[in-house]
Amino acid sequence: MPFEIIRADITQLKADAIVNAANHSLLGGGGVDGAIHKAAGPGLLDECKTLGGCKTGESKITKGYNLSAEYVIHTVGPVWEGGTKGEEKLLRACYRSTLELAVDHNFESIAFPLISSGVFGYPKDQAIQVAISVISEFLMDHDLMIYLVVYDQKAFVLSEKLFASVKAFISDNYVEEHHIANENRDYEMEVCYYSKSMRSLDDVLEELQETFSEHLIRMIDLKGKTDVETYKRANVDRKLFSKIRSDKFYRPSRTTVIAFSIALELNLDETKDLLEKAGFALSRSSKFDLIVEYFISEENYNIHEINEALFAFDQALLGV
Ligand code: APR
């Protein structure tokens, strides 16, 4: 997946470049700036001294020295002053100028911290939305593996109301592993019968022969979407999508199938059909599945809100 939100210490990441949330002097500081300088060693500071500082929203590149990453791109985020001083525009410029440097250097991977969301006080949930929006826009026209490193749980501020309704949905539906068998089988049989009986027998027989790949392509046409917008919204890279398209027996991962369901805004039955074609089923003993099921039944396909909920319940995240 070309864009992943991960929980990690950025100084440990092996990417072509990691991004530093620096200050105008580029001479180090606290937070991630301090952590990167500490891990890189004195060579980084020596090179930074030759750069003559950096303006807010701009980016400059150095080598990575003792870091696993080969390069460091230093960018200076805006200090939060309430949101009326053009902070968002400057923060967007940080991500964009950094990505432009990555393209100029033909990087294949890059890792961002949540710029300005620490010492500079940018509200974390707004900072993460700005990051996701610039990165998603960039990935519509570029191929690059981008990691957004969320260092602490506070970064995802799930609205109270959303948290409460997701929590209620999970407790109403969560079924312990041990008696999932009959519960799930009956549930699946009933859904399977319901969704099949609504279509003619020929359609059902024809669809039963369909592989995952054929079913996906048919759903893309049915929803009037293009291949590109589908795999981009599903955060699946072009190479993987062409493999799925060209190999009718391709076996995707579960997360990829669910990402396509969200991208195509499938309803619950359509999602279950797509999963079934790939040999999977939504499970009542998986919080991840229940959270995805909650959002699909609410027809809320906002990947950011889905990720906020997944993060809040300590689940793996879906890409952009
Ligand atoms: N890995 C990943 N993310 C980290 C790490 C780490 N090792 N350490 C901190 N972070 C996260 C913080 O949790 C925060 O979400 O980086 C984000 C940015 O926080 P800061 O490092 O405080 O950067 P910023 O808010 O942009 O303020 C920059 O702080 O450190 C000084 O010299 C720096 O003056 C500059 C200012």
Domains located in the chain, CATH noted: 3-157 (3.40.220.10), 161-312 (no CATH)
pLDDT (0 to 100) of residue 128 = 84
Distance CA 16, CA 239 (A): 20
Report how far ligand 1's centroid is from the alpha carbon of 169 (Å).
35
Any ligand 1 atom below 6 A from CB of 9: yes
Asked whether the CA dihedral 293, 213, 256, 230 is positive or negative, the reply is negative
pLDDT (0 to 100) of residue 160 = 65
pLDDT of 238 > 80? The answer is yes
Known catalytic residues are 33
Q: Find how far residue 97's CA is from the centre of its chain.
A: 21
3-state secondary structure of 185: helix
Any ligand 1 atom below 6 A from CB of 87: no
Query: Mean pLDDT in the chain?
Result: 87
Distance CA 139, CA 301 (A): 19
**32 vs 310, residue with greater confidence:** 32
Mutate which of 9, 13, 32 for ligand 1 pocket (most atoms within 8 A of beta carbon): 32
Report, as an integer, the average pLDDT of 283-287: 90
Write down the pTM of the prediction.
0.75
3-state secondary structure of 240: helix
For the chain, helix, strand, coil in percent to 5 are: 50, 10, 40
Report, as an integer, the average pLDDT of 215-239: 91
Q: Which residue has the tokens 């859904």?
A: 191
Of 189-198, 250-259, 291-300, the range with the lowest mean pLDDT is 189-198
pLDDT (0 to 100) of residue 165 = 81
Q: Which residue has the tokens 């301090």?
A: 34
